[in-house]
Each structure stands twice: as C-alpha cells, then as structure tokens.
Amino acid sequence: MKRLALLLGVILISIVIMVFGYRSFSSHKFSGEVLQQPMKIPPIVLRSDAGPVRLEDFHGKLILLYFGYTSCPDICPTSLANIKMALSGLTPEEAAQVQVVFVSVDPARDTPEALGKYVKLFQDEFIGATGTREEIDLMTSAFGAKYKLNEHDANGNYSVDHTSFTILIDRNGYYILKFPHETTSTKMSEDLRYLIKNEMPISAQILAGPTYTPVVCAVTLIPSHVDGGEWLYQHHCAQCHGADMAGNPAWQTELQDGSHFPPPLNQTGSAWQYSEQDLINIIKEGRNLDKPIHMPAFKSTLANWEVKFIITYMKSKWDINQLNYQHGFMTLTPQATSTPAPAIPSP
C-alpha cells in the first residue's frame, strides 16, 4: 500500500513538473501574429549586390523579411527604421543572430546594387535582394504578401502598393510569425529576444501561442511496415507529393479554380493533424475530385494494408509531438490571435 502511495506521489509530481514546465515555456505573449501553421520557406534564389542569396543561407539565424521597394515614400523607410530600432534593443550578441532581408517587388527599378546601397542607409548588415517577376510572385504568394504596381505618371514614375508586415522566419527555416506594421520596436525586441533565448522545436512552434497538454507516450512504428510503405509511397504518391514528401512549396495557396497543389505529407505539412481514419478516407476516396488538381482516389488501386503501410511510412517522418497528437495522446487548444490581418496600405 505504502509503495503504491509512493508511486502515485512520484507520478503526480512528474505531471506537475511537466505541466508547469510547459506552462512557463508558453508564457510569453507574442506581439507578432503567430501562424497557426508554420510554413517551410520556399527555396527561391534571389540576387543581392553580394551575389545570389537564398533564405536557407541563414539557417541557424532568425530572419526578418520585408517586401518593399526603394522608391517607397514612407512605409518601407519607417518599417526598416523600426526594425533597426528593434535590433538596437537587443544585446550585440543577440542582434547578430537576426538577419534582415529586404526584398524588392520592383526589380525594374531596383537593381541589386541600388538595393544594397539603400538597405545600408539603415544598417550595414541588412541585405537587399530581388529576383525576376516570376520569382517575386512565387515568393510573395508563398508568404501571403501582396503588391500592385500602379499606373505610370507623365514622367514614367509609379508607386507600388504592398503589404507592410514583417515576416519572421525561425532558425530552422519556418515562417512562424508576422509583425503588423504598427508593432512598436520595443514589442518587436521582446518577441525577438524570446525567440533567441528559447530554442523552440518545430512541434512547439506549431503549438506556439496555444496551450497544450502533453502526455508521454510511445508510438511504435514497425520497421518492416515503414520500409514497405516507403516502396508503395514512391510508386503511387511521390510523383505528386515529392520523393521526400515535401509537397509543392506553394501548397497553401488556393489557385483561381479553387484547387491546391499537393501538400507535404512529412512533418512540415498538416497531414499529422488528421486522425488515422481520416487519412485512410482521404487516400481511399480522394479529395476535391471535381477540381483540375486533386487528390485521386486509391480505393481500387491499393489494398487496406497497403494504405496503412503508407501511413506508417508518413508517420516515420513526423516528430514525436505530432505522433502524440495524431494518436490522441496530446490535445491542442489554439488561442485566437487578437491582431487583425494587416491591410494593404493605400498609396
């Protein structure tokens, strides 16, 4: 009896420590708008005065990304000045862990050289980059940013309307948060300092903001099922979802006809948020079959056990918290973000 009481006591204390530990972890209230679902950054190469730049080049640092143009009369300069002030609110060691990247949506006028000069008016370490119209469109649509080139005036000058938020990308290359234009530099510093001090695992980023109840569990994936699933995946799914399950980088963007590109099925997508039964249904019945781009039905091609093997293989790419969540061992209660979506500024 005494032993049982002792055991129960130990379990209780562990639970208290765990819950308390996670509470203090999620105690920071972000001023930026936390994305309910972080997005892996698209692998786009842009040009700067120092040569080609890719966002992946800054893996290990936080990135502040801003879309604008150098002839911008007020919004861009105030945003860049605000970012500079937010960085000066950090220690030099902390600030060195943040890379600022200014991407011009006006490549016709903003050469990489002109951009380099422009950003250095604010801080030497800032990077200014741009790309072809197509690269810029891919990138802005991936980040949910918008812009519009206005009519030329008699002198051939034109203004550009563009979204004015600052995008924050974490050390692992995930877009996790955005700062609305009106975020003060002090508030931005606080969020940056928190993210610099607290290494958030990817799963925790997904859960950033929301509170959650973790329960330790062990999901065992049978190695032979994972292997079999991999073979089946490569033969039936890889042509759309990618050999590495990364999906199409623009999977979150809705196309004009309402269809979506194939999403990732690994830990960067949202497949882990479905129950086992829902996944089976999606794979057997397909989804949005009436749309030009859709998930085909596999009920006449794959046997039930084959579908299950493929799902096991998908799970081998998820992290432990995602597995816990999918198996119902962990709950997720997202907090509504209070900050409204920033509007496109009027010219």
Helices marked H in 158-295? 185-197, 202-206, 223-236, 238-241, 276-285
Q: How many CA atoms lie within 13 A of 119 on its CB side?
A: 28
Footprint on residues 303-322 left by ligand HEC (CB under 6 A): 310
63 binds ligand HEC, rule: CB under 6 A: no
From candidates 35, 65, 139, 295, binder to ligand HEC by CB under 6 A: 295
Which residues make Cβ contacts (< 8 Å) with residue 47, sequence separation at least 6? 53, 112, 129, 130, 131
Select the residue interacting with ligand HEC from 178, 260, 308, 315 (CB under 6 A): 260
- Contact pick of 38, 107, 214, 263 for ligand HEC (by CB under 6 A): 263
Q: State yes or no: residue 37 binds ligand HEC (CB under 6 A).
A: no
Q: Which stretch, 80-88, 199-207, 278-286, 327-335, contacts ligand HEC (CB under 6 A)?
A: 278-286
Single out the residue of 142, 169, 279, 330 in contact with ligand HEC (rule: CB under 6 A). Answer: 279
Q: Does residue number 298 form part of the binding site for ligand HEC (CB under 6 A)?
A: yes
The DSSP code sequence of 130-153 is E--HHHHHHHHHHTT--EEEPPP-
Selected binder of ligand HEC within 46, 188, 237, 245 (CB under 6 A): 237
Q: Which residues pair with 33 in a beta bridge?
A: 178
Sign of the torsion formed by the C-alpha atoms of 112, 116, 119 and 123: positive
Report if residue 64 touches ligand HEC, rule: CB under 6 A: no
Q: Is 169 a binder of ligand HEC (CB under 6 A)?
A: no
Nearer to ligand HEC, 86 or 279 (CB): 279
Asked if 297 contacts 284 with a C-beta cutoff of 8 angstroms, the reply is: yes
Give the H or E element holding residue 161: strand 160-162
What does the alpha-carbon distance between residue 2 and residue 5 come to, in Å, rounded to a whole number?
A: 5
Q: How far is CA 152 from the centre of its chain?
A: 35
The region of 145-153, 196-204, 207-215, 238-246 touching ligand HEC under the rule CB under 6 A is 238-246
288 makes contact with ligand HEC (CB under 6 A): yes
Number of residues that bind ligand HEC (CB under 6 A): 23
Instruction: Output the smallest distance, CB 324 to ligand HEC, in A.
Output: 18
Q: How far apart are CA 36 and CA 207, in angstroms?
A: 8
Which of 149, 240, 280, 332 is close enough to bind ligand HEC by CB under 6 A? 240
The residues near 49 (Cβ < 8 Å, ≥ 6 apart) are 112, 113, 115, 116, 117, 128
User: Could you tell me which residues come within 8 angstroms of residue 41 by beta carbon, excluding any fewer than 6 positions away?
Assistant: 55, 56, 142, 169, 173, 174, 175
Indicate the residue among 18 and 240 with the shorter CB distance to ligand HEC.
Answer: 240
Nearest approach, Cβ of residue 191 and ligand HEC (Å)? 28
Binding site for ligand HEC (CB under 6 A): 236-237, 239-241, 260, 262-263, 265, 269-271, 279, 282-283, 287-288, 293-296, 298, 310
